[in-house]
Structure 1
């Protein structure tokens, strides 16, 4: 790919192993100021090798499935089933059996898991065994943790634990994976697990994807109730901010004790539920700013997040919490707080670790 908009930016030639041996690329100032480029970590994947970010070039030595014995089923999703397992050295593991899918998707998940290896608050991949039988296309082996997901703890946590163990540590996990150039794209309560010692882990990277500036991505990703507005209006040039919207929904659900916060029957109704709170005026400004078309947008006036406060949740609501929610749940993804900015918010004062 050769980028050649002369007169608008400086161009230089450097080795760039993502695509070709040498390409022209825009300078940093161009990326930092571009409307359709992430405001953080936009260059995280610039110097990575093709085998690390492109599923077509992955080299991975598969493990031996004979080393593992499958036991009880402990979970199921749209694309996989999860079982407890035992390795031949008597080490307990988690075995994630993928349903039939394109080999590129399997390779991409392996690449994403390799990219985030070593980050805290994320489960580590132990082994991967790819195959072509009719029942499954691959089995991923993860470390075993005795844990429950956040959905099971919903309504049982007081504000200090919400701040310290749940919300702040989720931000740490997101900031670390974003710094590795990875978008999760399916952040939700069911994908946040808590160990008995209160350690938090962000799991399920099946929809994880590498971020590349100005790349057009599939918007049919994520769980409907947590989908960011840019996905609902088919803005394909999205970035890490989709995770921050989903995190904002998670935070608001924990504070207001309302799960999910926005409950649409389909993607159109989902946007309507969001607009019913954020209002039509700001949606139209967003669509105009990014030159997006959305026929017949729903018409609603803007409402404050205080509409969610009731006697059952009032003890969890603070001025700082409302402010953080209002800076995460905004239409414009360029104005949404990043994970690092959210971690620095006054809501977490006294709870940072």
Structure 2
């Protein structure tokens, strides 16, 4: 079993803005003060230690693979002094397209922090520039993993619990989710082919190493559309495949689940990821995401 060598020095990392949350984690964009580079901090909610070790092990084993989001560090905040300014008002009408530092560490110093905000490096600017087209796209991607907004005077502090594991991963500049691009009708036929090919390259690399993602969906595919940079993110449900060993069916997102999962068949294999990818492709082709939409596993099969 992998032993986690935690880095307990969280001082170089300044959490900037909450950009996503899920069943097992909350996600923030952050600044590494040591190199002035943006990164992403995935703060894990209380889960089994085995699950944490599995995700770290998988990200390390896939390091350097095509389009795999890179793991930079594994932190544990034993001092409980790592904080973030969370915008109290993230209205798109006030959206400026820049991430601004909040420097917040607790709820008592918000006033001082609001007077000392600092603009981050230009690589942190988002895909939007404030015009009407960009505002429309921004409003459509409210559920996007990488939606960010300016910290304003209504900022409040967010504190991390003592001993919380934190995964520090790569930040993709100017990136939005594939779903955001789909909703904004920003994907051409060439884009569909290119992005599908890149996702399949990632899965081929992972599968050859005995790993499957088990949650491929447009929300877990980050894209810098201008530079055609793609990253497959959120490997929290990924697993090592062992032939003949029964697996958990409580994985993937319902609208992208393969039939094996829907009927509770536990001896599935890598084809699970291919089904999910096919659902993503169908959504792009027919401009309908999710393509298969059911309110339960039973409806999903019909």
TM-score between the two structures when normalised by the length of structure 1 = 0.59
Which residue is 1:138 aligned to? 165
Q: 1:135 to 1:62 in 2, by over 3 A?
A: closer
Q: Tell me by how many angstroms 1:99 deviates.
A: 1.1
Deviations 1:27-61 (A, max 9, x none): xxxxxxxxxxxxxxxxxxxxxxxxxxxxxx11232
8 Å contact kept, 1:71–1:83: yes
Q: Which residue of 2 aligns with 1:325?
A: none
Shift >6 Å, 4+ stretches: none
Q: Does 1:188 align with 2:191?
A: no
Relative contact order, higher structure (CA 8 A, sep 6+):
2
Distance 2:32 2:212 in 1: 31
- Does structure 1 residue 61 correspond to structure 2 residue 61? no
1:153 aligns with 2:181: yes
Q: Check the 8 A contact 1:100/1:134 in 2, yes or no.
A: no
C-alpha separation in 2, matches of 1:135 and 1:99: 12
Whose Rg is larger? 1
**Cα separation, 2, equivalents of 1:137 and 1:85:** 16
Unpaired segments ≥5 residues, structure 1: 1-56, 273-353
Number of equivalenced pairs: 215
In structure 1, the residue corresponding to 2:11 is in which secondary structure?
A: helix
TM superposition shift of 1:135: 7.3
Spell out, residue by residue over 1:51-75, the C-alpha distance to the aligned partner (whole angstroms, 9 max, x if none): xxxxxx1123212222211111111
> Which of 279, 283, 296 matches 1:249?
279
Q: Residues 151 and 215 from structure 1, CA distance in 2 versus in 1: closer, same or farther, beyond 3 angstroms?
A: same
Question: Cα deviation per residue 1:160-192 (whole Å; 9 max; x = unaligned)?
Answer: 11112x111111111111111111000000001
Aligned residue for 2:264? 234
Do 1:101 and 1:137's aligned partners in 2 also have CA atoms closer than 8 Å?
no
Q: Which residue of structure 2 aligns with residue 70 of structure 1? A: 15
> Any idea what SS the aligned residue of 1:140 has?
strand
TM-score by length of 2: 0.68
Following the alignment from structure 2 to structure 1, what is the Cα–Cα distance between the partners of residues 275 and 299?
17
Of the three residues 104, 121, 142, the one matched with 2:50 is 104
Contact conserved, 2:43 with 2:165, CA < 8 A, in 1?
yes
The alignment status of 1:171 with 2:200, answered yes or no, reads yes
User: Within 1, Cα distance between the matches of 2:162 and 2:256?
Assistant: 30
Deviation string 1:236-276 (CA, Å, 9 cap, x unpaired) is 0111111000000001110011111110101111112xxxx
Superimposed CA distance per residue, residues 196-249 of structure 1 (whole angstroms, 9 cap, x where no aligned partner): 411111110010100110110110111000000001111101111110000000
